[in-house]
Structure 1
Amino acid sequence: MQKSIYQQTGLAMLFLGIGLVSACSVPPKEESPMTVKHNYIVLLDLSDRLIVQQNQPERDKEIIDHIYSLFEKKVKSALYVKSRDEFKVVVAPQLGSRVRTDIFEDRLYVDMENIPMVHRKRNEAERKTAFEANIDSLYKEAIFSSNPEDYHGADIWKYFYEDLKVDYSRDTLTENYLFILTDGYPIVGKDQVKLREVKDQFPDLNIVLLEASPREKDMEWDRIMTVWEDWFDKIDIKEYTLIKRGAISKEKEQIKEIVNEKLTASN
């Protein structure tokens, strides 16, 4: 016997109700949490240290390449597609510099968020090859004379005062690192201990100063350490490491430990 129209409608409503209950019982899909962003800034002192210190350009390039490899590992750990990491090389202001700073800084900047997903992993080797070639070109251009008197000092303080606020990421889920390759003081001239305060704040900025090369006499290392430490305390930089020029393998290991220690702490 055929069911009446009322019975058919009732059954349809029953099945619809069951479907709605089932749909409501399925928990909503959770969005995957945003990954930590790693922002690597490498600040270069391209003064006469390049020719005064033995093998300095080669040492610099090896250290930069090491930091870049740590950046690549972080990108891989985020499976490429989730990476928001940045890597940039910047040059400290230097009076009379012949380096085409803007051009090189643009070429030596990698922002994973600006790279299409399909190219992030596929073009990794190509990006690194181009990066290394541009580093080589930068140092060839920076070494324009064999006479130390032809070079002016690099003003690291001026970078902090004018440019760091642009390179520093204020994304709340970011680890900011500033690696400074220099041989001595943060400012040029006679007033090396009279550093004006930098008004911009850089919370959670982790600074690693590398290749400091004080004279063996006059306790210059102690003076350099004091200048940097007093200045960092004044501008409220809480995390910093000052590394004296030594065995480059040891310096690279220290860099790796600092980066990995911060990563472990954030997890």
Structure 2
Amino acid sequence: MKYILLTFTMMLFSCRSNDAKEDQPEVRAKTMLNDRQKQLNLSILLDLSDRIDPKANPDMPAHFQKDSALISYLTEYFKSEIRSKGGHAAKPKMRIIFSPNPADPGISKAAEKLSTDLSGLMPVEKKKIYDNIGNTVTENISYIYRTSLRQAYWPGSDIWRFFKNDVDITIDPDTSYRNILVIFTDGYLFHADSKDAAGNRYAYLLPGLLDKYKLRNNPQWSKDIDKLDFGLISKRADLDRLEVLVVEVTPATKHKNDEDIIRKVLDKWFAEMKIKKWKILNTDLPQITKGRVESFLRD
């Protein structure tokens, strides 16, 4: 599988102590400070499915506009982190991933223009990126979304297979980095190439499954999920160095409680994969979501 990696960068602050003890508050405080000082390895997985189509899924602002606003926020956050860390010490990373890689060569070219990694750059080079990255991101992200909407080809985003086979690319081998994956998705997971099933576990999560298992309009839906062991197939349990933030979850208009089902299924899946920390955010006005994203990044 091919992936487009857009590496801006960020930093969040240094090494984590393994010696913190519950009965030593001064040690806990030091550990928290060290964790914030780690460099940040931030990956963004964009779901370019029909969730962004304003005709199929109308919203105000449109979903692609919300995505663009949040990506712009991440860019500004990146710039603020460079300022606080300084030109010499700043060496974090940020990348955008498509799963699978879009077929359009123009999208690939736009992605290449956004590929940046501060870890091996001189301060003067970092300053140039700092000065230009805002416009560069705005221009190329806009192109990516405009092109996707114009083509109106929606094979889905293979988020399940990405975690099965390729999530390792979001985990830096250098333990001085904090690894965070931000996923833009409506929460309904599907790709034409991933239709695996094992018992009551699946490689996808679609409204039809929720109907099949009678989870909608069912006050016992949570207990039924537990009883049936319904959910996503888990293929690994080694992601204890990865944090995951899911944004823009959007339940079906006539089934708002789908959000609760999606959240429970994802919670279960992430826990089984031993993900270090995660948070799932429903769609909202960009300024509200920005605050929640910032809270996660700074935690």
Q: Which amino acid aligns with 2:116?
A: V
Map residues 77-156 of structure 1 onto 2, 5 A cutoff: 77-93=84-100, 97-100=102-105, 102-145=108-151, 150-156=153-159
**1:228 is matched by which residue type in structure 2?**
L
Partner of residue 41, structure 2: 39
Unmatched tracts of structure 1, length 5 or more: 1-32, 262-267
More helix by share: 1
Post-superposition offset of 1:109? 2.4
Deviation at 1:80, TM superposition (A): 1.7
Q: Is the 8 A contact 1:185 1:227 kept in 2?
A: no
Change (3 A) 1:119 1:237: same
1:178 aligns with one of 174, 181, 185: 181
Q: Which TM-score applies when normalising by structure 2?
A: 0.68
The answer to whether 1:195 aligns with 2:235 is: no
Among the aligned pairs, what percent are the same residue? 22
Judged with a 3 Å threshold, the aligned counterparts in structure 2 of structure 1 residues 224 and 87 are, in CA distance, closer, same or farther, namely same
Corresponding residue for residue 158 of structure 1: 161
- Partner residue of 2:8? none
Unpaired stretches in structure 2, ≥5 consecutive residues: 1-33, 196-201, 206-230
Please say which of residues 67-76 and 194-203 is displaced more in the overlay.
Answer: 194-203
Task: Report the counterpart of residue 265 of structure 1 in structure 2.
Answer: none
Instruction: Kindly provide the CA deviation profile for residues 11-56 of structure 1, in whole angstroms up to 9, marking residues without a partner as x.
Output: xxxxxxxxxxxxxxxxxxxxxx9x6211111110001111124311
Counterpart residue type for residue 206 of structure 1: E
Higher alpha-carbon Rg: 1
Asked if 1:214 is matched to 2:251, the reply is yes
3-state SS of 2:79 partner: helix
Q: What's the counterpart of residue 67 of structure 1?
A: 74
State yes or no: 1:246 paired with 2:284.
Answer: yes
Change (3 A) 1:104 1:123: closer
Structure 2: which amino acid aligns with 1:42?
Answer: I
In structure 2, C-alpha distance between the alignment counterparts of 1:243 and 1:203, rounded to whole Å: 21
How many Å apart are 1:123 and its aligned residue? 4.0
Greater CA drift, 114-123 or 218-227? 114-123
RMSD of aligned alpha carbons: 2.3
Task: Summarize deviations over 1:134-159 as a string: whole Å, max 9, x none.
Answer: 1111112211346xxx4222111122
- Number of aligned positions between the proteins: 223
8 Å contact kept, 1:68–1:87: no
TM norm structure 1: 0.75
